[in-house]
Amino acid sequence: MQTDSPWRTADFRTLFAATTLSQLGTNISYVAVPLIAVAALDASPGQVGALATLSTLAFLLIGLPAGAWVDRMRHRRVLIVADLARAVLFASVPIAWWLDALSLGQLYAVVLLNGCATVFFDVGSQSALPQLVGRQALVRANAALVSLMAVSNVAGRGAGGGLVQLLTAPVAVLCTAVTYLASAVQLTFVRGSVAPPPRPSVRLGVQIAEGLRHVFGNRELRALALTAALNNMGSQIINTMLPVLFYRELGLPAGVLGLYWAAGGVGLLLGARCARPLATRFGYGRTLGLFGLCIAPAGLLVPLVGNGPWLWIAATGWVLAMFKTGMDNVLGVTLRQRMTPDALLGRMNATFRFVLTGALALGAAVSGLTGQLAGVHTTLWLGGAFLTTAFLPVFFSPVRKRRTLPEQQAETPAVDPATPSSRLSRRRR
């Protein structure tokens, strides 16, 4: 029986445990891989930017068809295969290191192929969730998963920095491989129905187009996508240059970089935990729009990062920016899942992932290019500007007026509420 508590569902607890392992490995590698490039392979700012770009490029290359493919596949199988692929890829890094054969070219290949596997894992995970817990439990389930991401940011990035500092970066990457393997094993215990609903046979291009129309033809979904994309771009521009800044310009150890990123995880966790009570008190739209307006100036504190008190000032801005991100993740993901029929979940999630992770790829490329041509600090100010203005699409959209979650979406793609044909079928706010 479906309830509003996902914890009563054994399969959700299993998925949560597997995601815990997966997120831990992801965050360890987030610190370890760029530090291998900077410290061991003497990568330039442009090469660090290329590494970050390739790590997210897969969502631009296969993000949209992946959603249609996932809608045709058994979701549990997709998740297990993706985790196994990621384990093998990251295990190749320490092996090459120990054989004295590691190169930037191999790191580029590993992060690109890992991105491909992550496309399928992320889309499959978000598409399986409504089937595992029921739509009434989505807010709590998403809050739990975003909180987990935040805790993993704290534990994983803190541990990643410590492992790099104490045991070297290749050992930290080996730990990543082990966590992905453990996640795959855990997922074999999911027993519920996570298969896609039956669909008539249609061409792949038609399915992709349905997902695009569903997202970009709806004013609320479109605003959510644009705000999240701007936020991702600003964060990525900053994060891509931080290893260069901390290691080369400030002379700080890997552990400090890990702790700085972990501080952002604390903000993410607090935002995720506060999202539901704030939305209940002020309404979903006000929480997304007005809190964005209040917290936006914090993005301009982040580029002040330096030695001494400036590190603390920048960290404060980073925590506040991540607080808003954590809140947006819970409420935004829940809204888009509730606005989407089951048959379109994979393509809706893939479309969002295409836009959001495409913004990460573009942000990394911009960061590397700007860092190479104009310097690290100019790059940080550019990223801060994106963080500060990211709330605007949601603020000037119908989302800001929404007080409650929409009713469960019917099994038809959504269209723009402004079009005449949609006015009679508009959902109650």
pLDDT tens for each residue of 300-337? 888 888 777 888 998 899 999 989 888 888 888 888 87
Q: Supply the pTM of this predicted model.
A: 0.67
What is the phi-psi region of residue 397: left when phi exceeds 0, alpha when psi lies from -120 to 50, beta otherwise?
beta
In the block, which residue shows the tokens 């490039």?
A: 37
Can you give the three-state secondary structure of 399-425, one letter per residue?
Answer: HHHCCCCCCCCCCCCCCCCCCHHHHHH
How deeply is 202 buried, as exposed, middle or buried, from its count of CB atoms within 10 A (0-12, 13-18, 19+)?
Answer: exposed
- Tell me how far apart the alpha carbons of residues 215 and 355 are, in angstroms, rounded to a whole number: 11
Q: What is the pLDDT of residues 377-427, one digit of tens each?
A: 899 999 999 999 988 998 898 888 787 776 655 444 433 333 333 332 333
- Tell me how far apart the alpha carbons of residues 131 and 305 are, in angstroms, rounded to a whole number: 44
In the chain, the percentage of residues whose pLDDT exceeds 70 is 86
Tell me the two tokens of residue 30: 């987030």
In the block, which residue shows the tokens 């790099």?
A: 164
What is the structure's pLDDT at 421? 34
10 Å Cβ neighbour count for 41? 14
- Tell me how far apart the alpha carbons of residues 262 and 244 are, in angstroms, rounded to a whole number: 18
Q: 133: which residues sit within 8 A by CB, 6+ positions away?
A: 2, 6, 9, 12, 141
Cβ(179)–Cβ(35) below 8 Å: no
Length of the chain measured in residues: 429
What is the phi-psi region of residue 265: left when phi exceeds 0, alpha when psi lies from -120 to 50, beta otherwise?
alpha
What is the structure's pLDDT at 226? 92
What are the chain's domains? 6-195+204-418 (1.20.1250.20)
- Tell me how far apart the alpha carbons of residues 150 and 156 are, in angstroms, rounded to a whole number: 10
Q: What is the pLDDT of residues 226-277, one digit of tens each?
A: 999 999 999 989 988 888 888 777 888 777 887 887 788 788 888 888 888 8
What is the structure's pLDDT at 265? 79
Mean residue pLDDT across the chain: 80
What is the structure's pLDDT at 56? 79
Q: What is the pLDDT of residues 299-308, one digit of tens each?
A: 888 888 877 7
What is the structure's pLDDT at 92? 93
What is the structure's pLDDT at 84? 94
In the block, which residue shows the tokens 């290359």?
A: 61
Cβ(141)–Cβ(8) below 8 Å: no
What is the structure's pLDDT at 429? 36
Q: Compute the average pLDDT of residues 43-57.
A: 83
What is the structure's pLDDT at 417? 36
Cβ(347)–Cβ(296) below 8 Å: no
Q: 242: which residues sit within 8 A by CB, 6+ positions away?
A: 257, 260, 261, 305
